[in-house]
Structure 1
Amino acid sequence: MQTSLRQAPLADATTDTTSVASRNYRILWRWHFYAGLFVMPFLMVLAITGSIYVFKPQIERALYGDKLFVSASSQPRLGYDRLLAIATSTLPPDAVATSLSVSQDPSRSTEAVFRLSSGDSESVYLNPYSGQVLGTLSVEHRLMKQVRQIHRDLLLGRWGGWLMELAACWTLIMIGTGIALWWPRKQFSVWGSLLPRLNLRGRALWRELHLVAGIWVSIGALFFITSGLPWSSFWGKNFQAVVTWAGSAQPKSTASSEHKHDDHGAHAQHDAMASMTMPKKMLDLPLAEVPWAVGATTVPQSQVTPQQRLSVDRVVAIAASNGLHTYQLALPNKTSDVFTAAYAPGAGEFVRSDLERQRTLHIDQYSGKIMKDMRFADYNPVSKLVTLGVALHMGEYFGFANQLLCASVSLALLGMALSGFVMWWMRRPQRALGAPKRVLQPPPSIRRWKGYMALLGILFPLMGASMIVVWLGDTLFFRKRA
């Protein structure tokens, strides 16, 4: 075991007489090596799955076009209640309807989602003009859903999500130390700094390609990491909660004008009920896409009265009268639930996201009151910035060009991971890890970098804990292996 972990030959254990610049370089290289060693396999997964998922609209159209699209017709559409009844008749009696797609697009089918007794969900697709059932698809097991889950948590749940978050955070260290290693310490030259010298051979050529490509792709990589972290399992969830608590997603007006007179009493009742039970959050609703800015907001509750629940067609009419025409509609399954109509980028309606149309509407299932209306204009600057970042990250903001740009950056990151592996493989000693030399006498100037890393560790607690583990392991295990 000791032999397999032996480092590359190090400097003398008692003295380190190399220059300050050389020692700084070796310290940064060592952290870059450890970051790359951990990040590389996860970065490859992120790059491959991200490159695939960014083309979700085109892939799903090719795979499921016969279910997602219909021939546009001038004849009137069937009512949503009737369509839901038809979809219900195709599934077992214990299937529960959870959501319905509502669309203005004359070529889109209607999707009704049901929760089965097994706990899985099934989508039923119908022709909105004839009521013909076009087919069914599993929500959890369709290809792009699996690709997205691998991208987010490796299909391992919470622990997988934490691992992917750690990999993303350590990529920040890899980017920072990589830029420092690239930074010219002598006279600047375009060749070797911004353009590779292709006359080199062997490991020198691989190193040149890795350095030059790395500096070009670093901006895109930094954007990908920072725009993806708000969706991460640990940091992202807590960041979202803090932003929501700070009032980022609170609407300017929470009730329609005709119901403002009794809004205060309704909310007092909802708050009292929420204090007795765990309040439901937007992310708990059975919706495929939820706007990030409202994901941690509390879902209001319907006022339980002897009234009959409104029909879906009536709710759709209420949403339309309030200017919302294309969305996913979460259906109430308890007496205190509300209808929730939500439109978010990525809902499959458009490749290009119109962020200004992002909106969430909560409607009382009995009276039809607008309990809460949250629009993009109501978000604070942080939530608007995250929303824009998410749309760009997923290739949804400026159409096909955005998709190509995202895929190009992802594939470039894959190339960086592979070239780093090739460089390590070519330089590693036999039966040894091949870590860069450990500096036993760090120069005072390295304190600035320690401060940067400490700040990152505080900002991202999971990474901070892992950094302590790496530092302790490096210090204690290799102390006598000089």
Structure 2
Amino acid sequence: MESRASATPRRAAAHRTIWRWHFYAGLFCLPFVLWLAATGAIYLFKPQIEARLERGYENLAVDGAPAAPREQVAAALAAVPDATLNAYELPRTPQSAVRVLVGRGSELTRVYVHPQTAQVLGAIREEDRFMRQVFRLHGELMLGPRGSWLVELAACWAIVMLATGLYLWWPRAARGLAGIVYPRLGAGGRTFWRDLHAVTGLWVSAFALFLLLSGLPWANFWGGYLKALRALGDGAVVEQDWTTSRAEERARNLAANTPPAGHEGHAMAASGPQALQGTAGAAYAELDRLVAPVASLRLAPPVLIAPPSRAAASWTARSDAANRPQRVNLTLDGERGTIVRRVDFHERPLLDRIVGTGVAAHEGQLFGWPNQLLGLLTALGLAMLSVSAATLWWQRRPAGVLGAPPPSGTRVAPGLIALALIFALLFPLLGASMLAVRLLEALLLRRLGATRRFLGLADAR
């Protein structure tokens, strides 16, 4: 049996190793955490922001019967040359502008059409919409796949930071709850910042870990890793309800924007606005028969009706609700104007339901405004965690060096190695970065005198 005397140095060495990883994890990911907290806090209020931005397309003057859906689609297609219908969105009220998504190649344009006169009131590329820009800033820093990898890497290191922080926080000889469950705000100085950091970390960690984990299925690398594992288990390519990269999203758009074989150019062969209206009216006459039966189901908005394409052989409709458990997919018979098949959220594969529920909570839409408030408080907590961490580091940082906790000087415990391997298997990008850091430290950084001293590696053995 291991003696208490020998166990204490080993625990101290493990504590120092974990503290060191906590420090470097924070050093790398804190700027990203602040960025994700800020952009995520904005995205939480997407419904309210979009409603405000599009208020000019609501409460329109309507004094008669609405135009036929095919006429509204024809007007939208006339506004975007060489486009095809991607989806027709059911108007939420009789006074709402009709949103028509038209596609050209892999691009989508949202056209706003007056429901009665079929006059085009405005148009904007989907990628140019404000909340779409926030989505790109949040998920990929507007850098495409490289930005997605950076955000994913930062999220993985943030998980390490939170897990190691909870270990360091764990009270071992505490007297009372002060400094553990609530901060000693009147203590001042370093104690104030230490309590603010530790207590905020305690209360925010569970929610922050949930946000980090629920966002990973959308990440380029980890999402692709998950999809590959699913395909390996199912023996086929898995069609998911979410995309993991801009390229995959564009490919889906292209398929949905491409008419099925034998119908190419059905909405593009016309040579002028009047001819286009006749062509589109003939091609999309079935839409008129589908709007009423789909609207009668009162699905959670927005509800999109899409024509046959290379993505789907028949007419389809779907609820694209932000609260994903409310989503429904329909297969339609355009000739008869009937619903052929309905798939509700609870009928989807288990993993899709888990991810969908997690994403709805991640975006603040699962249980209304309390979900938004919880997300906002978590974002503010992460910002407080980052600011207090930077302040603590600055206060204790010796002159001329980074101020990282020194290495323990002993071999890493097998338990920590096993834990690192588990993390590497769960998060391959994290594992690759950990290996890269270890090799960089062993092969280069320790050989450079000034760098070794600055990073606190001088005493390592």
TM, length-normalised to structure 2: 0.79
Deviation of residue 302 (structure 1)? 6.5
User: Could you tell me how far apart the structure 1 residues matched to 2:398 and 2:92 are?
Assistant: 64
CA contact (8 A) 1:101 1:329 kept: yes
Corresponding residue for residue 230 of structure 1: 217
Aligned AA (2:435): I
Pairing 1:98–2:86 present: yes
The question of whether the paired residues in 2 share the 8 Å contact of 1:332 and 1:365 is answered with no
Structure 2: which amino acid aligns with 1:481?
Answer: A
Secondary structure in structure 2 of the residue aligned to 1:136: strand
Shift of 1:377: 2.3
Once the two structures are superposed, what CA deviation does each residue of 1:113-143 show, in whole Å capped at 9, x if it has no partner?
23357x6432111222332333222311221
Change (3 A) 1:37 1:279: closer
Native 8 Å contact 1:395 1:406 kept in 2? yes
Q: 1:111 to 1:207 in 2, by over 3 A?
A: same
Q: Percent identity?
A: 35
Partner of 1:468 in structure 2?
Answer: 435
- Which residue does the alignment assign to 1:112? 100
Equivalents in 1 of 2:308, 2:398: separation in Å? 63
Residue 429 of structure 1: aligned partner? 398
Q: Work out whether residues 337 and 365 of structure 1, in 8 Å CA contact, stay in contact via their aligned partners in 2.
A: no
Q: Is the 8 A contact 1:72 1:106 kept in 2?
A: no
User: SS of the residue aligned with 1:234?
Assistant: helix
Question: 1:198-213 to 2 correspondence within 5 Å?
Answer: 198-213=185-200
Distance 2:397 2:25 in 1: 17
1:196 and 1:336 map into 2 onto residues whose CA distance is 57
Counterpart of 2:37?
Answer: 47
**SS where residue 180 of structure 2 aligns?**
coil
Q: Which residue of the other structure, out of 341, 347, 364, is the alignment partner of 2:317?
A: 341
Q: How far, CA to CA, are the matches of 1:147 and 1:200 in structure 2?
A: 39
**Counterpart mapping for 1:435-450 below 5 A:** 435-442=404-411, 446-450=413-417
- How much has 1:323 moved relative to structure 2? 7.6
**Structure 2 CA distance, aligned partners of 1:283 and 1:122?**
20
User: Of the candidates 16, 21, 30, which is equivalent to residue 26 of structure 1?
Assistant: 16
- Equivalent pair of 2:315/2:332 in contact (CA under 8 Å): yes
Q: 1:366 to 1:303 in 2, by over 3 A?
A: farther
2:324 and 2:360 in contact (8 A); partners too: no
Inter-CA distance 469–143: structure 2 relative to 1 (3 Å threshold): same
Report the CA distance shift for 1:47/1:95 in structure 2 as closer, same or farther (over 3 A).
same
Aligned to 1:316: 291
CA distance in 2, matches of 1:467, 1:402: 34
In structure 2, the residue corresponding to 1:19 is in which secondary structure? helix
Does the aligned pair in 2 maintain the 1:110–1:128 contact within 8 Å? yes
Q: Quote the residue 1:250 is aligned against.
A: none
Distance 2:173 2:240 in 1: 56
* Residues 170-185 of structure 1 aligned to structure 2 (within 5 Å): 170-185=157-172
CA contact (8 A) 2:240 2:352 kept: no
Distance 1:114 1:164 in 2: 31
Query: Relative to structure 2, which stretch is displaced further, 170-179 or 75-84?
Result: 75-84
Aligned-partner Cα distance in 2 for 1:203–1:191: 15
The CA deviation at 1:453 is 2.1
Distance in 2, matches of 1:409 and 1:330, equals: 38
Question: For the residues of structure 2 that align with 1:388 and 1:280, how far apart are their CA atoms?
Answer: 17
Q: Compared with structure 1, are the counterparts of its residues 65 and 241 closer, same or farther at alpha carbon in structure 2 (3 Å cutoff)?
A: farther
Cα shift at 1:304 = 6.4
Residues 369, 448 of structure 1: alpha-carbon distance in 2 compared, 3 angstrom cutoff: farther
**What amino acid maps onto 2:20 in structure 1?**
R
How well do the aligned residues superpose, as a CA RMSD in angstroms?
Answer: 3.7
Note if contact 1:303-1:336 (Cα within 8 Å) is conserved in structure 2.
no
Measure, in 1, the Cα distance between the counterparts of 2:117 and 2:228: 44
Q: Quick one: which of 146, 155, 166 aligns to 2:142? A: 155
TM value normalised by structure 1? 0.76
Distance 1:279 1:194 in 2: 45
Structure with bigger RCO (C-alpha 8 Å, 6+ apart): 1
Correspondence for 1:412: 381
Query: In the TM superposition, what are the counterparts of 1:36-435 in structure 2 within 5 Å?
Result: 36-67=26-57, 69-71=58-60, 75-91=64-80, 93-116=81-104, 120-240=107-227, 242-243=229-230, 311=285, 312-317=287-292, 319=294, 326=301, 327-332=303-308, 337-346=313-322, 353=323, 355=325, 357-363=326-332, 373-435=342-404
Secondary structure, counterpart of 2:127 in structure 1: coil
List per-residue Cα deviations over 1:101-120 (Å, max 9, x = no partner).
Answer: 12454453211123357x64
How far, CA to CA, are the matches of 1:97 and 1:279 in structure 2?
26
Which sections of structure 1, spanning at least 5 residues, go unmatched? 1-15, 248-274, 285-289, 347-352
Q: Which residue of 2 aligns with 1:251?
A: none
CA 65–136 in structure 1, closer or farther in 2 if over 3 Å, else same: same
Number of aligned positions between the proteins: 417
TM-superposed deviation, 1:380: 3.4
Greater percentage in helix: 2
- Does the residue aligned with 1:121 lie in a helix, a strand or coil? strand
1:70 aligns to what SS in structure 2?
A: coil
Amino acid aligned to 2:85: A
Q: Contact between 1:304 and 1:335, CA under 8 Å: does it hold in 2? A: no
